Structure 1
Amino acid sequence: MSARILNRDELLRLIDEAARDRRLIGPVRRGERTFYEAADRAAELDLDGPQCVYSPKAHFFPPEETLLTFERKSRSFVTHPVRHETPTALVAVRPCEIHGIRLLDHVFGAAPADEGYLARRRATFIIALDCFRPCRDEAFCGDLGTNTAHLGFDLMIRRLSDPEEGSRGAERFELTSATEDGASLLSRAGLGRTADRADLDAVRAYERSKASAFPCRLSCEADRLPEVAQRGYTSTVWERTAARCYSCGSCNLVCPTCYCFNLRDEVSLDGKSGARVREWDGCQLREFAVVAGGHNFRAAPAERLRHRVMRKASWIAQRTGLPGCVGCGRCDRACTAKISLVEILNTLAREQDHDHAGHS
């Protein structure tokens, strides 16, 4: 793993070099919020702003996309796959989002592999941005260990000076590579310098500061979450909390690890051609579990809420070995009913600790 120390001007020049033959996507400020959007140059990106409203998931797994077109030939149909990949430099992806992308890699890379997703993934050069403190009050990535990432990106930026202290001219950034493509860019750009003793001291100070900057928001250890969720299956917390739920699906929409989708065929009026379209779906929507005949096997909001929490806290991790929730806090922030995933998990843990104390 190679590393360089860059100032802000050099960092922006490095990002521009990464995007020289690629589309540039990164955090762009829109009023008080930021979004992962296309930019013409690195100077347009907000590298010091808050967490983006949406994760970069949509770049790899679009909210709506045409998977294939088809046309009728004699008595059969001929299909034509549609590919959408564009060489892209995706910048300032946070560690929790890297963990979310790694889960999507696992899901869409498993047989039968989603070639469209994998093509977009291969065409993307990722420059991650490490968090030295929580980016939102709702975040609980420190509890889950997803505030740090070592895989799933090409370059990692670590800010060795606080942007709120001192002048920008004195800022230092450590750039480390995690792939051959990342190391190649660092070498080709020829920017910055190797770390000296003062830089190494700054790196150690950064790591010490980061270790104490993320508060514990969960009342149990992260490795207990699957058990806590499973043992809480019959808890009354689901009905009590779901009484406030509007079933709007906002939590699904902003989540970096939700990957459910629906397929529909759009057919021409003469029935001779059409397209198969994929669109995001969400388990909190009333119609999500409706099947043929109109039966809804999760008709009650409490059943849908429990299903979502079970997937995030238990089932996905059991199936993949990767976290189903990365602790970004977006669902808590997006929920208009103020339903908190952290509060649900803490309530379940307290109920079980109380029951255990009562039987001991």
Structure 2
Amino acid sequence: MGYQLSGQALTSAFKKWSAEYDIYAPMVFEGTGRFSETDVIRYGKVTDPAQIVWDERSEYSFKDVLTPVCQVLFYFTENEVKEADFPPKGAIIFLRSCDLHAVKRLDFMFLENGPEDYYYKTLRDRVKFVLMGCEHPFEDCFCVSMGTNVSTDYDAAVNAKDGEYFLDCPDATLAAALQEFAERTCDVVPDHVEEDDVEVTIPDNLTNAIAKTSIWDEYDKRCIKCGRCTLACPTCTCWSMQDIFYTENGKAGERRRVQTSCMFDDYTTVAGGGCFRQKAGERMRFKVLHKVMDFNTRAGFQMCVGCGRCDAICPEYISLTNCINTKLPQGMKEVLENGQ
């Protein structure tokens, strides 16, 4: 059963939900964009559906809610360790189909690929996901090619049309508020994209031998190793550990988990000062092959969800879709010609 709500009615439902949950959705942050006096669309806490950006893709993903940019794990002194507090409320996250598929990738990495990550699981168990219907594709998206354009594993789904909101809600907790304020019940099927402007085809014959081909050399000159592509990506999860010691007491402090990137200079620095993958092309190779080959070998599905954010945010106009469609076939041709 679905529900039709006006903006005011959904605002009332938000107030009900807010008693137990913080609500996160893509919204406009004015004057905080990458360039002077520009805006940025990214995730933040909302209290009203009018604050949500329904018709544009967010420049950054939802992942900061589940894997914060900087997360304090625990505090320590000479004599004891105290676990950091988690947020007092759970979270409701409004996200699109590609991002909901990204949650499956995060779950595999943090919950299935070895021992469960305690910090991720604690946050994850308190999150509900609301799928935002997509009436049309966005620039650079290729979710159809990656099979992430349709999602059914949601707690609620919403189509926003002309100031009215149409929700499907399998979750009983969220549905209670919708039933209270809905104008009427109706059948609701989440909108989804059936065709993108961009198509991506991963070569069927892709092997590890492509890592040693010359296709990556071009990126030594083009990539500036800023890491924007990975920070915007909903499935990039790399982090570093930082111990912060308080100046008042050099034996007390806190341990933090901080987002980092395989594109950063210090990511592969090891004891003694050695550094792997110093060239930008080597880092591009590592990232791309992890997205479209290595992860799939381990998990059985591709890491990339086709959101297109990496193409949109790159200051050097490096395109992942072009790399997959053009460079990877060239690389495998080089492999075959060299008899590798």
Please tell me the TM-score bracket, short chain as reference: 0.7 to 0.9
Q: Which residue of 2 aligns with 1:143?
A: 145
**TM-score, normalised to structure 1's length?**
0.81
**Equivalent residues of 1:86, 1:123 under 8 A apart:** no
**Equivalent residues of 1:267, 1:273 under 8 A apart:** yes
Q: Which residue of 1 aligns with 2:156?
A: 155
Q: Is 1:245 matched with 2:247?
A: no
| Matched position secondary structure for 1:84 | coil
Residue by residue over 1:196-215, the C-alpha shift from the partner in whole angstroms, topping out at 9 and shown as x without a partner, is xxx67xx59x66xx424x23
**Equivalent residues of 1:67, 1:275 under 8 A apart:** yes
Q: Is 1:262 matched with 2:264?
A: no
**Equivalent residues of 2:214, 2:331 under 8 A apart:** no
Q: Which one of the candidate residues 194, 208, 215 is aligned to 1:211?
A: 194
Q: Is 1:337 matched with 2:316?
A: yes
Residue by residue over 1:272-305, the C-alpha shift from the partner in whole angstroms, topping out at 9 and shown as x without a partner, is 3221111111001122111111111211211111
- Structure 2 counterpart of 1:156, which letter? A
Q: Distance in 2 between matches of 1:22 and 1:284?
A: 35
- Alpha-carbon spacing, 1:139–1:115, altered in 2? closer, same or farther (3 Å): same
**Equivalent residues of 1:154, 1:181 under 8 A apart:** no
- Alpha-carbon spacing, 1:312–1:342, altered in 2? closer, same or farther (3 Å): same
- Alpha-carbon spacing, 1:69–1:350, altered in 2? closer, same or farther (3 Å): same
- Structure 1 counterpart of 2:218, which letter? R
| Matched position secondary structure for 2:87 | coil
Q: Deviation of residue 236 (structure 1)?
A: 1.9
Q: Which residue of 2 aligns with 1:52?
A: 58
Q: Which one of the candidate residues 283, 299, 304 is aligned to 2:278?
A: 299
Q: Deviation of residue 44 (structure 1)?
A: 4.1
| Matched position secondary structure for 2:312 | helix
Residue by residue over 1:320-358, the C-alpha shift from the partner in whole angstroms, topping out at 9 and shown as x without a partner, is 234311111111111111111100001135426867999
- Alpha-carbon spacing, 1:82–1:356, altered in 2? closer, same or farther (3 Å): closer
Q: Is 1:92 matched with 2:75?
A: no
- Alpha-carbon spacing, 1:86–1:325, altered in 2? closer, same or farther (3 Å): farther
Q: Deviation of residue 17 (structure 1)?
A: 2.9
Q: Distance in 2 between matches of 1:185 and 1:116?
A: 29
**Equivalent residues of 2:20, 2:89 under 8 A apart:** yes
RMSD: 2.9
Q: Distance in 2 between matches of 1:353 and 1:235?
A: 8
Q: Distance in 2 between matches of 1:49 and 1:276?
A: 39
| Matched position secondary structure for 2:281 | helix
Q: Distance in 2 between matches of 1:305 and 1:311?
A: 10
Q: Which residue of 2 aligns with 1:30?
A: 29
Q: Which residue of 2 aligns with 1:114?
A: 117
Where do residues 4-15 of structure 1 align in structure 2 (5 Å cutoff)? 4-15=3-14
Q: Give the gaps of 5 or more residues in structure 1.
A: 162-167
Residue by residue over 1:49-82, the C-alpha shift from the partner in whole angstroms, topping out at 9 and shown as x without a partner, is 4111211100111111211111213xxxx32111
Q: Deviation of residue 267 (structure 1)?
A: 2.5
Where do residues 256-335 of structure 1 align in structure 2 (5 Å cutoff)? 256-268=234-246, 270-335=249-314
- Structure 1 counterpart of 2:110, which letter? F
Q: Distance in 2 between matches of 1:247 and 1:239?
A: 14
Q: Give the gaps of 5 or more residues in structure 2.
A: 31-38
- Alpha-carbon spacing, 1:113–1:350, altered in 2? closer, same or farther (3 Å): closer
**Equivalent residues of 1:229, 1:309 under 8 A apart:** no
| Matched position secondary structure for 2:136 | coil
Q: Distance in 2 between matches of 1:332 and 1:21?
A: 37
Q: Deviation of residue 6 (structure 1)?
A: 3.6
Q: Which one of the candidate residues 50, 69, 74 is aligned to 1:68?
A: 74
Q: Distance in 1 between matches of 2:265 and 2:150?
A: 36
Q: Which one of the candidate residues 123, 126, 141 is aligned to 2:126?
A: 123
Compare the two structures and name the one with the higher helix fraction. Answer: 1
**Equivalent residues of 1:19, 1:88 under 8 A apart:** no
Q: Is 1:191 matched with 2:197?
A: no
Q: Which one of the candidate residues 99, 107, 122 is aligned to 1:105?
A: 107
| Matched position secondary structure for 1:50 | coil
**TM-score, normalised to structure 2's length?**
0.85
Q: Which residue of 2 aligns with 1:164?
A: none
| Count of residues paired in the alignment | 328
